[in-house]
Structure 1
Amino acid sequence: MATRCSHHEDDCPIGVAQNERGDRNCPIIEFAQGIPGFPETHLFSLQPVPEAEGWFHLVGVDEEAPTFLVVNPFLIIPDYEAELPDKLLPGANPQDIALLAIVRVPDSPWEATVNLRAPLVIDVPRQRGIQWVPQESPYSIRHPLFSKCEAVGVSCSS
């Protein structure tokens, strides 16, 4: 049996707490298997991008560890869905699962893409994560972040 993750009312996929002084506590997420391409990096700090709700920097906590720009995939495709095997994060409650997608920003930001095929799956209360790479998916690993019209600064509407 699989868990189907789709849009939740809460647009913030990870609860970022604030203390009494207003300082943000950035959660540390453990990726026990690392992230594909970075198997040696297991701990990442999830830091909100200022004034960009649903956007985060996933920062490896070890020296020289990678940093990724990630986004709530529902901001890119509002009816985004991912079918996750139950064994992916054993013991996780489906309501506690959050999804994030890695953004690739090349030299030209207008050519940025989002990996919607292989989302980061996070068990929020346990602060555990994994990148799920399904064998089949309707989504691309290089979904354009901007339309061609936006890239050249023209309106696409008729």
Structure 2
Amino acid sequence: MNVQTKFHGEIELVAEEIYRFESGLPGFLEEKQFCLLTLDDTPFFVLQSTKTKEIAFIVTNPFDVFPDYEVKLTDEVLELLQIKTEQDVLTFVILTISDPFNETTANLQAPVIINGSKKSGKQYILTGTDYRTKHKLFEPPAEQGAK
């Protein structure tokens, strides 16, 4: 299937590269199919709608940036996505890209959970945590000569 993308132009996908989001994403409930594309030589990916070219989210693996990040999936989510083992799970967070780039934030409150083997996904809203929708991706550098 050929797909028009926001950042990669037209690409060809095979069925195994498409992830199904039965409930869509919050705010994009009609968008049910996405693909995950690499973004050059960066730790970032594009979660691209296969239906709407303009709907593309820059995402990253939160554990690479926030090593203490924790996501506890409910039994309902495990069942919905048919997750049997930890190896099935891919976790991403949606970034809000800022200018300057070092002001970019990550939505740690609502990670995107994907079952890589079943090709299903869901944006899962965490409750009862201190995670917010805008965590700075980059810590500001320590003040030089600060006392």
Structures share a fold, TM > 0.5?
yes
Name the residue aligned to 2:120: 128
1:46 aligns with 2:33: no
Shift of 1:58: 0.6
* Contact residue 57 and residue 70 of structure 1 kept, 8 A: yes
Aligned residues: 131
Please list every run of 5 or more consecutive structure 2 residues that lacks an aligned counterpart in the other structure. Answer: 1-12
Percent sequence identity is 30
Please list every run of 5 or more consecutive structure 1 residues that lacks an aligned counterpart in the other structure. Answer: 1-23
TM-score normalised over the length of structure 2: 0.78
Note the alpha carbon deviations across 1:70-104, whole angstroms, 9 max, x for none: 00001111121101101114131132111100000
Name the residue aligned to 1:27: 17
* Contact residue 72 and residue 101 of structure 1 kept, 8 A: yes
1:103 aligns with 2:92: no
Q: CA RMSD in A?
A: 2.5
1:140 aligns with 2:117: no
TM-score normalised over the length of structure 1: 0.73
CA distance in 2, matches of 1:48, 1:157: 39
Bigger CA drift: 60-69 or 95-104?
Answer: 60-69
Quick one: structure 1 residues 76 and 88, their matched pair in 2 at CA, closer, same or farther if it must change by over 3 Å?
same
